[in-house]
Amino acid sequence: MSGVPRSDLAASVGLEDADLLGMYRTIAAARAVDERMWILNRAGRIPFVISGQGHEGAQVAIAWPLERKKDWIAPFYRSIGTCLTFGMTAQDILMAQYAKAADPSSGGRQMPGHYGNAENNLVSLSSPVATQILHAVGIALAAKIRKTGQVAMCSMGEGSSNQGDVHEALNFAGIHKLPFIFVVENNGYAISVPSERELALPDVAMRASGYGIPGVIVDGSDVLACYSAAKEAVDRARRGEGSTLIEAKVIRLTAHSSDDQQTKYRSAEELAGMAAKDALPRFRAQLRDAGVLDEATEARIAAEIKAEVDAATDHCEAEPDPDPATAMRWVFAEDWPSESPPPWGFGPGGGSHDGPGGAR
Amino acid sequence: MAIRTFIEAIRDTLASEMRRDPTTILLGEDVGKKGGVFLATDGLWAEFGDDRVIDTPLTESMIVGASIGAAMNGLRPIAEIQFADFIFPAFNQILSEAARMRYRSNNGFGVPMTIRAPYGGGVHGALYHSQSVEAFFTHIPGLKVVVPSTPYDARGLLRSSIRDDDPVLFFEHKKMYRSVRGDVPDTDYTVPLGRAAITRPGSHVTVVAYGLMAHYALEAADVVAEEGISVEVVDLRTLRPLDKDTLLTSVKKTGKCLVVYEDNRFGGYGAEICAIVADEAFDFLDGPVSRVAGPDVPAVPYNHVLEDWFMVNPTKIADGIRTLAAY
């Protein structure tokens, strides 16, 4: 034993108090970054936001037992908590919102929300949903063949889970007992369509039996339940016993995106009732009750996060946009002299300032 | 130097590359014990075992999507799509994922993966075992598309494809598997991607072709030679990146360009070749940039009379050459 005092709460899940505070800090940071994104959008500083609010508790807790820079995650567009847990910073996330040249996800090439980071084994994401599950399964296949001991995780919403790629991926993962974890963050909506119009069964986890793997349902507002489910799945994968499906029942606190008006399809009562299911205040209260989080620590963490997000915002504002002269780079590993630049060269907006396709 | 059939050259190359590089794996439908429906992978499962030669479920999207993931985590997958006609369930993985991974991650991730697929008609394969699908993929920046026509090129280009750090589609005309033979050295030579070959020098008309049509173009050139028409044949070998230099140098010399492809004519790969020639060799042309291509019906019909009607052959190419040469 380390001699560091440990709360009963931490002991109940095999962690230290520092882990619980780390989780709390990451969840709170994910929320703070997300809220900043909306402010910047409404202030006209960034054109688009897609949010993870309401998912953060499950995201952070489920990614927690994975080993950074060894294991892999194929995230999705709400995965801010996941990415922060796995090594990206608030600044990295905001750089994607601003699409600046040094944005570590894509160098400003992708829409916000398409996080990815080779340095942290976070797979680059596209927009057609659920494609990334096959990448995670392929990563797990390579881990098994190369005997690296790595585990691959993929997360997505329940709406995306209906895609054919999910069936193909889980079937293959089941056949080969791959070290793979499929996380469904079920917030009850595919943009505007409620889950009863998306799923023939109430729970995505029920499908797991069709692939010979366990399907676990967890309350996404119960951070430590999410952690325990993920820990068991990681241990199982590490032992060579195969894949697990974890379905976390979460809430979507915001509209689908900054371009969506959710009051058109969600009632005022429903929206008002969501705060009670929010993992962030629930976990905060749990840590207070357990004596892990006192007022001073809470205030210190809040101040640190605010300073970090403020500094990240200032940094991103000052960063340069990508140079059009770089726009033809990295189609391939090497340049292709046979692929010529457009007749308007590489000036912004084609020599004039009309923007792409501007008046000519 | 040994004489090999087209498919033997492919099989030997897969085996030698898998011996050379332990990170290569092969996956696809029936590629294991059976050795593939055409036997292109015959014997590889016995030599390399379950881990490196993987019989997949009938899930083309998975074959490609999992290959992308495996490629990101240190392997060099060689995926087989049983027939090019069945590649479309994987189209999204190829287009949205493999082709864009490097660009969208600003060189964070690459996908060193080769997708092999038998294509082409003239084998009684009907609508769904005969298609030419290259135009769908040559349209996409981020993919390399290779169509060899000889055992020598098949070996050299497959080596280059497997060793390339980006996704390569490698299309093999199934009619050539056992009907085309040629010298294949036992050395570790490669044929670089993106280089065309002049397979017959000539002075009156340039015929541009690839795959089976590269052979038919040579046969047609022999026929019209007896009538005094001198044909230069450009075998593109790699469709993208395109070897514009060889193409344009030839057309500027002959002043006439006939593009031959087996696929449907409208919007086919050869249409882009025509556009490039018209744009960049206009001052040298003394006849219309022309095409001989498959008719615009949905695909190759089964009955042999209908199939013969569909297929471009040396006679149809020779007619196209004569028409163009008359300008």
| Largest Cα–Cα separation, chain A | 73
Q: Quick check: A138 and B243 CB within 8 A?
A: no
- Mean pLDDT of the residues in chain A: 94
Q: Name residue, tokens 């209906």.
A: A162
The pLDDT of residue B281 is above 70? yes
CATH of the domain at A100: 3.40.50.970
The pLDDT of residue A258 is above 50? yes
Count of CA atoms in the C-beta half-sphere (13 A) of A137: 30
Residue B172 covered by a domain: yes
Q: How far apart are CA A140 and CA B133, in angstroms?
A: 31
In the three-class reduction of DSSP (H, G, I as helix; E, B as strand; rest coil), residue A49 is classed as coil
**Closest by CA position to B120, among listed B257, B315, B313, B289:** B313
Count Cβ–Cβ pairs < 8 Å, chain A vs chain B.
153
What pLDDT, on a 0 to 100 scale, did the predictor assign at position B255? 98
Residue A208 covered by a domain: yes
The pLDDT of residue B77 is above 80? yes
**Closest by CA position to B158, among listed B3, B16, B307, B311:** B16
What pLDDT, on a 0 to 100 scale, did the predictor assign at position A338? 60
Of B184, B211, B239, at which residue does a domain stop? B184
Please write the tens of the pLDDT for every residue from B100-120: 999 999 999 999 999 999 999
Q: How far apart are CA B122 and CA B125, in angstroms?
A: 7
**Which residues are within 8 A (CB) of A132 and not within 5 positions of it... i.e. 6 or more apart?**
A74, A75, A76, A123, A125, A126, A154, A156
E-assigned strand segments in A141-257: 152-157, 180-186, 189-190, 193-194, 215-219, 244-249
Does B100 lie in the same domain as B227?
no
Does B281 lie in the same domain as B142?
no
A252 in catalytic set = yes
Of residues B77 and A2, more confidently modeled: B77
Residue B220 covered by a domain: yes
What pLDDT, on a 0 to 100 scale, did the predictor assign at position A16? 97
> What total number of domains does chain B contain?
2
* Six token digits for residue A129: 């949903």
The pLDDT of residue A230 is above 90? yes
Q: How far apart are CA A275 and CA A244, in angstroms?
A: 29
Q: How far apart are CA A95 and CA A311, in angstroms?
A: 12
Q: Quick check: B62 and A169 CB within 8 A?
A: yes
> Residue A228 carries which side chain, given as an amino acid letter?
S
Please write the tens of the pLDDT for every residue from A188-198: 999 999 999 99
> What total number of domains does chain A contain?
1
The pLDDT of residue A357 is above 60? no
In the three-class reduction of DSSP (H, G, I as helix; E, B as strand; rest coil), residue A296 is classed as helix
Does B173 lie in the same domain as B108?
yes
Does B123 lie in the same domain as B55?
yes
Does B235 lie in the same domain as B164?
no
- Mean pLDDT for B27-47 is 98
- Phi and psi angles of residue A215, each rounded to the nearest 5 degrees, phi first: -120, 120
Q: What Å distances lie between residue A13 and A85, A124, A230, A250, B25, CA to CA? A: 18, 32, 11, 21, 40
**Which residues are within 8 A (CB) of A337 and not within 5 positions of it... i.e. 6 or more apart?**
none
Residue A29 covered by a domain: no
- Mean pLDDT for A287-314 is 98
CATH of the domain at B54: 3.40.50.970
Please write the tens of the pLDDT for every residue from B212-234: 999 999 999 999 999 999 999 99
Instruction: Tell me the pLDDT band of A347, cut-offs 50, 70 and 90.
Output: confident
Residue B310 covered by a domain: yes
What pLDDT, on a 0 to 100 scale, did the predictor assign at position A341? 84
> Residue B248 carries which side chain, given as an amino acid letter?
L
- Mean pLDDT of the residues in chain B: 98
What pLDDT, on a 0 to 100 scale, did the predictor assign at position A352? 44
In the three-class reduction of DSSP (H, G, I as helix; E, B as strand; rest coil), residue B291 is classed as strand
Residue A313 covered by a domain: no
Domain region containing B136: 2-184
The pLDDT of residue A346 is above 90? no
Q: Quick check: A172 and B56 CB within 8 A?
A: yes
Please write the tens of the pLDDT for every residue from A145-190: 999 999 999 999 999 999 999 999 999 999 999 999 999 999 999 9
Q: What is the pTM of this model?
A: 0.96
Distance (Å) from the alpha carbon of A153 to chain B's nearest alpha carbon? 12
Q: Quick check: A109 and B194 CB within 8 A?
A: no
What pLDDT, on a 0 to 100 scale, did the predictor assign at position A345? 87
Residue B189 covered by a domain: no
Catalytic residue among A6, A265, A282, A315: A265
Q: How far apart are CA A87 and CA A122, in angstroms?
A: 9
The pLDDT of residue B235 is above 80? yes
> Residue B220 carries which side chain, given as an amino acid letter?
A
Would strands A193-194 and B2-5 be described as parallel, antiparallel, or unpaired? unpaired
Does B152 lie in the same domain as B34?
yes
Burial of B252 per CB tally in 10 Å (0-12, 13-18, 19+): middle
Residue A240 covered by a domain: yes
CATH of the domain at B284: 3.40.50.920
Does B171 lie in the same domain as B204?
no
Residue A158 covered by a domain: yes
Of B66, B74, B100, the CB nearest to A172: B66
Does B229 lie in the same domain as B144?
no
Does B299 lie in the same domain as B240?
yes
Of B133, B161, B184, at which residue does a domain stop? B184
**Closest by CA position to B105, among listed A126, A124, A76:** A124
Does B217 lie in the same domain as B174?
no
Does B315 lie in the same domain as B210?
yes
In chain A, where does DSSP find H-type helix?
8-12, 17-42, 56-63, 80-85, 90-98, 132-146, 164-176, 223-238, 268-273, 279-289, 295-318
Q: How far apart are CA A123 and CA A337, in angstroms?
A: 29
Domain region containing A244: 50-259
Residue A144 covered by a domain: yes
Residue A316 covered by a domain: no
Q: Quick check: B144 and A135 CB within 8 A?
A: no
Minimum mean pLDDT range among A158-167, A202-211, A325-334, B250-259 = A325-334
Does B133 lie in the same domain as B215?
no
What pLDDT, on a 0 to 100 scale, did the predictor assign at position B47? 98
The pLDDT of residue A228 is above 70? yes
From chain B, pick out residues whose CB is under 8 angstroms from the CB of A114: 104
Burial of B228 per CB tally in 10 Å (0-12, 13-18, 19+): exposed
Count of CA atoms in the C-beta half-sphere (13 A) of A227: 23
- Mean pLDDT for A328-350 is 81
Are the beta carbons of B88 and A156 closer than 8 angstroms?
Answer: no
Residue A276 covered by a domain: no
Catalytic residue among A31, A236, A252, A284: A252
